[in-house]
């Protein structure tokens, strides 16, 4: 017994009752009162009225045509709908005449017959992506806006370190991209390449959040877009580095100077032969002491002086995670070369000193600084350059060995950079070398996805009690979803833009991971590209058959109501004017008084 | 019959009536508009008045229509017999009776003037009165405060706190800047250094203890001067200041920016390079210098001329000074002269170095700037220019022969030991000293071009590799090797080289001047004698000769010029037998601890960190530490006033986010870049670790 059946029965009963009442009245009424047309009208219109009332309450279902549902998203311009297509507009879209829906899931519930979707505009927001779920989807993207469509800020920056910001701009032929420091001074200018990509380089000074600005100018030098590029500079980390050499020299001297200033704990020792040593207090070279070191820098004479057991300890320490930098100062002996080749780094050549120039920024008028390297051919099956010279030849190589990394560095007088006024370059060079090779940190930090205001930010790897501090000083406590298992993920929906800090407290450590939340208006081009790429990933030609075979949607009740009102009015008129009701029809025929 | 005939004059009269009425009102409104808003107000009021008056007049004209004419004719003229409407009806609509009546009416038709309304003077006089009233009211409202002066206004103002009502700064730049003294009405000033500033301030109500407080704590009290306050100060450096007085609310900071007098700039216009070589036949050297300054260049400048004469180490310098007078404007002058090379005695091998010293007109102490040195060189024929540093880096071979002084010491030691020695031991030791003496004599003999006698002792490690025998092709063979070259007529200069045998080292022989050569010759002779007696076992007699030789050698060393031929750069090979055979006791490693250089701007870093919008961080700002730092490092900051202003803004309102951002931006300029440290890679993930381990497995 559905409501519609109950109502239908009630209405039927009412019609029967009223017909019966009419019949009784006809029989009782005097002949003069009887009016056949009136009776006929009443008898005919009563069921009609009841039927219309039913249709008001339960309008007939719409024809379920298997058309395409056209979903207009942000930036949708014209929608060309074919016959049978339905157009819905999501809240971000501004398409006149389309049916407005709060989200895609609602639209799909309203139109369950739609198994084919056509998305027009920028693309689906994260809110709507899950709703697509197996439906055939076609995507007609609108043009990307002019300006920044991708902005990659560095994840980890050390104080004093250089960092790169990748900017992809759209529709900016002949334009340029500038990086402005917090004081508003332009620190780097790049011309985007054919694909629109430009890499800007800045330097961090002190720890903490710092806001750089990326400014895009078109070919007339007019500013097209100004975007904030937030960077978080981490506190300087210390690393324990051991240096073993055959002789002290300026290279090690300037390396120690940099290490001391940069907060690196460096222990250097030189066995001069004959039992004479120089440098810091010598430490034994055992597996235990090497497990305390993050990086070992050793030259070929130091390597030869290690002995077989020492070399075995070093290799096993590297496999356990330590970094190893081999720094030949001359052509190593056959035996040493063979041992290094066993670590995957083969070298051949004369070992004569060769002067090479370091790369300089394009367009820079400065003379390229030069260093001396050994004329060695570095060769490895699976190594990556540590640094390259101005002609793109590697100055050193590194490769992964077990859990650690081993590098080979052929430059012998990088200290000359300091002497020629390029101290920053010397520091940057060694900072890059050390950062590449140094032992990984022990504690795994939680990972945070990039986010926007009111969008889901997922936090994973929460090993302890987690709290998220927002810029206004508020604290929220995300709850770990047990369904994520080992990954231990939670999510927050930040309400404010700006730097947030995820703080994870375990019994012995407190980890703080800063993450930046963009405002929903920031970087519209980035948002558009992200929506476009995510929607593109959902594009599918064939729909998975959906089991939703639900009832069709009912039409609107408006026309039925009007009809019912009309019929009821006639009924009322005829009912209220028993005699005039007859004359109602004759009234027009009566001649008017002139 | 048209109504126009009657309505025309009536309309004109009505228009004139209305115009006369409106005119005084419009004038009064225009006056009021001018009083309130000057020209713009006048125009606006005039336009508005004319528009309204014209609109009203037109609207009033609408009543003079046909009905009005008929009614007026009927009302004013009894002879119209209430039939005036017939006059304006169409003739074809009329019946004969009506036409007849119409004819009668036309005959009686009065002149149109009867319907003209009379002049209406009453509204006009009302309007004039109203206009005068408006004008008087306007004048009263607008000019009242000016007319009714001080007492009431002052009394009203005195009720509140003191307020700065007028400020004026008399700026008198130093006379030498040739800038006019002027008056500024703003308190933010940018003036040349040592400008005399006189503030004239008026407060209402008058405040007490008025002073200028500078950011560095100095304060200057203002004196009462009439009904204002005044203070005078000489601007010597850039500062921030604010006004302060008892009861005066906190005033904003003002900038007093002082631009120091820049030293003049001098550049050499001609010649355009530092080093010029003499062209053949050159007798004059034209010199043109350009000098510019921000305020003025002194009219004269000194040209310093240094003439370097001589070669090698024997160079004499002569210095003289010329005064040049400049041409051109006060701030941009040219100094030109032509040096006469003959009168200066400029000769081959000489250098002429000139430098112009320019002063500006700063008083009391003019600033002095020197131009870059310009060199005119007459290259000598004596070989190429020395490149200078080449020999310094050479690894030189140590001399393996004993000095003359050592030989004397040896002889004296031998003589002392003589009583204890056996005769043949004595003789052999004397002979060994003679060998040393000989080696030394041969060494010095090289400088005189003497041919070495016997076999020269090679340095240890190179025995047998070097003989000094004459051989074909070693540079001084006799002429027969050139036999096939045809003799050329006139080529007689080289007769010695062809037929003789100079036995000179070509380089060494020409290097010594005759006196030195003679002295050296004497030294060699004495060495000969010394060696002779030593060989004969008579060190006693050899000793005086040795002393004489030493004396001559000292003389030679003190001679003005001596050139030694270059010594070969080859190091002897390492003798592996001797290596690491020395004593190593007492060699201890010297600890060379390196301590981190302290950061030069720790207070800046601290404030930078404190200002960051870091969630969950404490918010106390070490502004006082920055003040101290800034006082000590003011020279390092390019724009200290902006930094100070930003600091003051944050101090005044610590919660102001934009002020904090501004201060952070200013601090960023000041921060030095610390040495780049190490960035740790993130910890290995479980899957990453498994991957790295799997890579190692096949090995």
Check pLDDT > 70 for residue B529.
Answer: yes
**What is the model's pLDDT at position A568?**
87
Q: How confident is the model at residue A297 (pLDDT cuts 50, 70, 90)?
A: very high
Give me the count of residues in chain A. 594
Check pLDDT > 80 for residue A213.
Answer: yes
Give B240's contacts (C-beta < 8 A, 6+ positions apart). B214, B215, B253, B254, B255, B256, B641, B644, B645, B648
**What is the model's pLDDT at position B545?**
92
Cβ contact B665–A260 (<8 Å): no
Q: How confident is the model at residue B244 (pLDDT cuts 50, 70, 90)?
A: confident
Q: Which of A160, A400, A514 is facing B677, going by the closest CB pair?
A: A160
Q: Which residues, numbered 647 to 686 in chain B, qualify as contacts with chain A under a Cβ-Cβ cut-off of 8 Å?
A: 661, 664-666, 668-669, 671-686
CB A379 within 8 A of CB A344: no
Is B204 exposed, middle or buried, given 0-12, 13-18 or 19+ CB atoms closer than 10 A? middle
Q: Which residues, numbered 115 to 144 in chain B, qualify as contacts with chain A under a Cβ-Cβ cut-off of 8 Å?
A: none
Which residue on chain B is closest to A432 by alpha carbon?
Answer: B678
CB atoms closer than 10 angstroms to residue B11: 19
Q: Is any Cβ of chain B less than 8 angstroms from the Cβ of A349?
A: no
Mean pLDDT of chain B: 78
In the block, tokens 């549902």 appear at: A69
Cβ contact B678–A438 (<8 Å): yes
Check pLDDT > 80 for residue A267.
Answer: yes
**What is the model's pLDDT at position A594?**
41
Judged by DSSP in three states, B102 sits in: helix
Per-residue pLDDT averaged across A550-572, rounded? 80
Q: Which of A184, A442, A486 is facing B683, going by the closest CB pair?
A: A442
Judged by DSSP in three states, B550 sits in: helix
**What is the model's pLDDT at position A553?**
63
**Shortest Cα distance from B671 to chain A (angstroms)?**
7
Cβ contact B678–A162 (<8 Å): no
Lowest mean pLDDT among A339-343, A355-359, B463-467, B642-646: B463-467
Between CA A516 and CA A493 the distance in angstroms is 13
Q: Which of A276, A280, A434 is facing B591, going by the closest CB pair?
A: A280
B682 contact residues in A (CB cutoff 8 A): 156, 440-441, 444-445
Give B398's contacts (C-beta < 8 A, 6+ positions apart). none
Q: How confident is the model at residue B109 (pLDDT cuts 50, 70, 90)?
A: confident
CB B73 within 8 A of CB B80: yes
CB pairs under 8 A between A and B: 169
A264 contact residues in B (CB cutoff 8 A): 677-678
**What is the model's pLDDT at position A178?**
93
Give B110's contacts (C-beta < 8 A, 6+ positions apart). B73, B77
DSSP letter assigned to residue A551: P
Check pLDDT > 60 for residue B275.
Answer: yes
Q: Which residues, numbered 207 to 226 in chain A, qualify as contacts with chain B under a Cβ-Cβ cut-off of 8 Å?
A: 207-210
Between CA A398 and CA A382 the distance in angstroms is 9
Check pLDDT > 60 for residue B502.
Answer: no
A498 contact residues in B (CB cutoff 8 A): 613, 615
Cβ contact A278–B675 (<8 Å): no
Please state whether the peptide bond connecting residue B205 to the residue before it is cis, i.e. omega within 30 degrees of 0: yes
A234-268 CB burial, b ≥16 within 10 A, e <16: bebbebbbbbbbbebbebbebbbbbbbbbbbebbb
Give me the count of residues in chain B. 699
**What is the model's pLDDT at position A341?**
92
Q: Which of A206, A261, A500 is facing B615, going by the closest CB pair?
A: A500
Phi–psi pair at B596, nearest 5 degrees: -65, 140
**What is the model's pLDDT at position B559?**
63
Per-residue pLDDT averaged across A143-160, rounded? 87
Check pLDDT > 60 for residue A432.
Answer: yes
CB A198 within 8 A of CB A172: no
Look at domain A240-437 and name its CATH class. Answer: alpha beta
Between CA A359 and CA A201 the distance in angstroms is 14
Note the pLDDT tens digit of each residue in A455-494.
Answer: 889 999 888 889 999 888 889 999 998 888 888 899 999 9
**Shortest Cα distance from B396 to chain A (angstroms)?**
22
CATH H-level superfamily of A147-233: Immunoglobulins (2.60.40.10)
Check pLDDT > 90 for residue B587.
Answer: no
Lowest mean pLDDT among A381-390, B27-36, B454-463: B454-463
Q: How confident is the model at residue B386 (pLDDT cuts 50, 70, 90)?
A: very low
Q: Distance of CA B235 to CAs A578, B362, B458, Å?
A: 111, 15, 77
Mutate one of B675, B687, B693 to test the A interface: name it (highest A CB count within 10 A). B675
Note the pLDDT tens digit of each residue in B336-356.
Answer: 999 998 888 888 888 889 999
Give B79's contacts (C-beta < 8 A, 6+ positions apart). B108
Closest C-alpha among A312, A309, A302, A314 to residue A278: A302
Strand partners, B315: B310
Q: Is any Cβ of chain A less than 8 angstroms from the Cβ of B598?
A: no
CB B556 within 8 A of CB B520: yes
Residue of A79 and B349 predicted with greater confidence: B349
Q: Distance of CA B373 to CAs B271, B307, B315, B356, Å?
A: 11, 12, 18, 8
DSSP letter assigned to residue B89: S
Q: How confident is the model at residue B477 (pLDDT cuts 50, 70, 90)?
A: very low
Mean pLDDT of chain A: 85
**What is the model's pLDDT at position B401?**
52
**Shortest Cα distance from B337 to chain A (angstroms)?**
37
Check pLDDT > 80 for residue A540.
Answer: no
B695 contact residues in A (CB cutoff 8 A): 400
Tell me, what's the ipTM?
0.74
Which residue on chain A is closest to B696 by alpha carbon?
Answer: A402
Strand partners, B291: B266, B333
Check pLDDT > 80 for residue A35.
Answer: no
**What is the model's pLDDT at position B402?**
65
Q: Where in chain A are the domains?
A: 3-60+556-586, 68-142+527-538, 147-233, 240-437, 447-508
**What is the model's pLDDT at position A120?**
87
Per-residue pLDDT averaged across B401-420, rounded? 85
Lowest mean pLDDT among A82-91, A125-134, A144-153, A163-172: A82-91
Q: Which residues, numbered 375 to 414 in chain B, qualify as contacts with chain A under a Cβ-Cβ cut-off of 8 Å?
A: none
**What is the model's pLDDT at position B508?**
45
Q: Is any Cβ of chain A less than 8 angstroms from the Cβ of B586?
A: no
**What is the model's pLDDT at position B579?**
79
B578 contact residues in A (CB cutoff 8 A): none
């Amino acid at each position: 017994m559905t409501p519609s059946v109950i109502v239908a029965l009630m209405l039927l009963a009412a019609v029967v009752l009223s017909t019966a009442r009419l019949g009784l009245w006809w029989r009782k009424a005097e002949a003069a009162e009887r009016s056949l047309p009136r009776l006929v009208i009443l008898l005919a219109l009563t069921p009609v009225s009841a039927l219309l009332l039913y249709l008001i309450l339960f309008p007939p279902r719409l024809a379920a045509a298997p058309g395409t549902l056209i979903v207009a998203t942000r930036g949708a311009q014209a929608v060309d709908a074919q016959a049978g297509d339905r157009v819905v507009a999501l809240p971000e879209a501004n398409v006149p005449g389309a049916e407005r829906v709060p989200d895609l899931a609602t639209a799909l519930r309203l139109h369950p017959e739609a198994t084919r979707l056509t998305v027009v505009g920028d693309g689906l927001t994260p809110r709507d992506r899950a709703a697509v779920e197996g439906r055939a989807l076609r995507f007609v993207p609108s043009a990307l806006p002019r300006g920044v469509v991708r902005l990659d800020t560095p994840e980890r920056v050390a104080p004093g370190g250089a960092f790169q910001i990748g900017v992809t701009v759209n529709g900016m032929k002949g334009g340029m991209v500038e990086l402005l420091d917090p004081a508003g001074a332009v620190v780097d200018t790049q011309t985007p390449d054919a694909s629109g990509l430009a890499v800007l380089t800045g330097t961090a000074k002190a720890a903490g959040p710092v806001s750089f600005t990326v400014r895009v100018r078109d070919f007339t030098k007019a500013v097209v877009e100004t975007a904030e590029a937030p960077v978080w500079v981490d506190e300087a980390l210390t690393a324990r580095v051991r240096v073993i050499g055959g002789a002290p020299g300026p290279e090690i001297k300037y390396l120690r100077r940099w290490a001391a200033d940069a907060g690196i704990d460096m222990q250097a020792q030189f066995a001069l032969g004959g039992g004479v040593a120089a440098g810091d207090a010598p430490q034994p070279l055992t597996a235990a002491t090497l497990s305390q070191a993050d990086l070992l820098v050793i030259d070929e004479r130091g390597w030869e002086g290690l002995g077989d057991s020492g070399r075995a300890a070093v290799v096993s320490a590297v496999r356990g995670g330590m970094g190893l930098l081999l720094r030949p100062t001359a052509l190593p002996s056959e035996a040493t070369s063979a041992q290094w080749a066993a670590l995957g780094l083969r070298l051949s050549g004369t070992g004569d000193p060769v002067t090479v120039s370091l790369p300089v920024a394009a367009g820079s008028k400065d003379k390229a600084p030069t260093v001396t390297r050994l004329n060695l051919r570095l060769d490895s099956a699976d190594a990556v350059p540590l640094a390259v010279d101005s002609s793109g030849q590697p100055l050193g190589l590194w490769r992964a060995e077990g859990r650690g990394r081993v590098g080979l560095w052929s430059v012998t007088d990088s200290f000359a950079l300091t002497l020629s006024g390029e101290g920053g370059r010397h520091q940057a060079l060694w900072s890059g070398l050390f950062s590449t090779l140094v032992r990984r940190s022990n504690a795994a930090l939680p990972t945070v996805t990039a986010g926007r205001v009111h969008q889901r930010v997922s936090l994973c790897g929460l090993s302890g009690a987690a709290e998220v501090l927002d810029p206004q000083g508020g604290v929220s406590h995300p709850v770990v979803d047990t369904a994520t298992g080992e990954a231990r993920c939670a999510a927050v929906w930040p309400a404010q833009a700006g730097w947030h800090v995820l703080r994870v407290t375990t019994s012995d450590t407190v980890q703080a991971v800063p993450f930046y939340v963009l405002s929903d208006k920031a970087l519209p081009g980035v948002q558009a590209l992200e929506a476009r790429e995510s929607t593109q990933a959902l594009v599918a030609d064939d729909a998975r058959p959906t089991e939703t075979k639900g009832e069709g949607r009912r039409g609107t009740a408006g026309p039925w109501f009007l009809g019912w009102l009309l019929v009821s009015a006639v009924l009322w008129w005829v009912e209220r004017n028993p005699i005039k009701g007859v004359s109602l029809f004759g009234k027009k025929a009566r001649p008017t008084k002139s | 019959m048209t109504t126009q005939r009657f309505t025309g004059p009536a309309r004109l009269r009505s228009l004139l009536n209305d115009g006369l009425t409106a005119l005084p009102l419009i004038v009064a409104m225009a006056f009021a508009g001018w009083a309130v808003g000057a020209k713009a107000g006048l125009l606006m009021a005039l336009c508005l008045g004319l528009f309204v008056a014209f609109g009203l007049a037109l609207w009033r004209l609408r009543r003079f229509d046909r009905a009005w004419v008929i009614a007026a004719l009927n009302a004013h003229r009894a002879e119209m017999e209430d039939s005036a409407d017939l006059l304006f009806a169409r003739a074809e609509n009329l019946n004969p009776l009506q036409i007849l009546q119409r004819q009668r009416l036309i005959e009686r038709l009065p002149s149109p003037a009867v319907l003209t309304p009379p002049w209406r003077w009453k509204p006009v006089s009302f309007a004039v009165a109203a206009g005068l009233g408006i004008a008087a009211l306007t004048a009263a409202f607008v000019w009242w405060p000016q007319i009714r002066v001080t007492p009431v206004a002052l009394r009203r103002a005195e009720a509140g706190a003191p307020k700065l009502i007028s400020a004026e700064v008399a700026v008198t730049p130093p006379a030498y800047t040739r800038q006019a003294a002027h008056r500024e009405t703003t308190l933010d000033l940018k003036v040349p250094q040592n400008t005399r500033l006189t503030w004239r301030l008026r407060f209402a109500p008058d405040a007490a203890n008025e002073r200028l407080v500078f950011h560095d704590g100095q304060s200057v009290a203002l004196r009462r001067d009439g009904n204002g306050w005044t203070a005078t100060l000489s601007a010597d450096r850039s500062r921030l200041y604010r006004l302060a007085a008892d009861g005066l609310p906190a005033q904003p900071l003002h900038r007093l920016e002082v631009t120091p007098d820049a030293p003049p700039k001098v550049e050499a216009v001609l010649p355009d390079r530092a080093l010029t070589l003499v062209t053949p036949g050159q007798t004059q050297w034209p010199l043109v210098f350009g000098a510019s300054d921000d305020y003025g260049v002194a009219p004269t400048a000194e040209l310093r001329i240094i003439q370097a004469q001589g070669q090698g180490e024997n160079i004499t310098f002569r210095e003289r000074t010329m005064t040049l007078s400049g041409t051109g404007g006060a701030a941009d002058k040219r100094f030109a002269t032509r040096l006469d090379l003959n009168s200066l005695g400029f000769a081959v091998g000489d250098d002429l170095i000139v430098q112009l010293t320019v002063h500006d007109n700063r008083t009391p102490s003019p600033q002095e700037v020197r131009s870059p040195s310009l060199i005119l060189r007459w290259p000598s024929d004596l070989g190429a220019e020395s490149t200078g540093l080449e020999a310094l880096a050479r690894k030189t071979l140590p001399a393996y022969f004993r000095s003359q002084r050592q030989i004397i010491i040896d002889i004296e030691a031998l003589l002392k030991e003589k009583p204890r020695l056996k005769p043949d031991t004595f003789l052999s030791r004397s002979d060994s000293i003679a060998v040393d003496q000989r080696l030394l004599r041969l060494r010095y003999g090289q400088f005189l071009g003497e041919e070495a006698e016997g076999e020269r002792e090679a340095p240890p490690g190179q025995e047998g590799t070097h003989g000094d025998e004459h051989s074909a092709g070693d540079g001084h063979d006799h002429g027969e090797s050139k036999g096939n070259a045809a003799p050329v007529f006139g080529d007689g200069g080289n007769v010695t080289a062809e037929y003789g045998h100079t036995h000179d080292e070509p380089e060494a022989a020409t290097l010594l001047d005759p006196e030195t050569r003679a002295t050296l010759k004497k030294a060699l002779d004495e060495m000969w004698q010394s060696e002779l007696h030593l060989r004969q076992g008579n060190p006693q007699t050899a000793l005086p000769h040795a002393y004489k030789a030493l004396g001559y050698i000292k003389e030679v060393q003190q001679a003005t010029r001596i050139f030694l031929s270059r010594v070969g750069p080859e190091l002897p090979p390492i003798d592996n037998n001797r290596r690491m055979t020395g004593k190593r006791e007492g060699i201890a490693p010297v600890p060379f601890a390196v301590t981190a250089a302290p950061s030069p701007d720790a207070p800046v870093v601290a404030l930078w960190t404190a200002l960051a919008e870091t969630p969950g961080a404490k918010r106390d700002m070490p502004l006082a530490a920055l003040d101290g730092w800034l006082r000590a490092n003011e020279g390092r900051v390019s724009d200290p006033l902006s930094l100070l202003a930003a600091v003051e803004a944050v101090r005044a309102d610590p919660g102001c986010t934009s002020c904090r951002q501004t201060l952070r931006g200013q601090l960023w300029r000041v921060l030095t870049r610390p040495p780049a440290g190490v960035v740790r890679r993130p910890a290995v993930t479980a899957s990453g670790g498994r991957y790295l381990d799997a890579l190692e497995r096949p090995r």
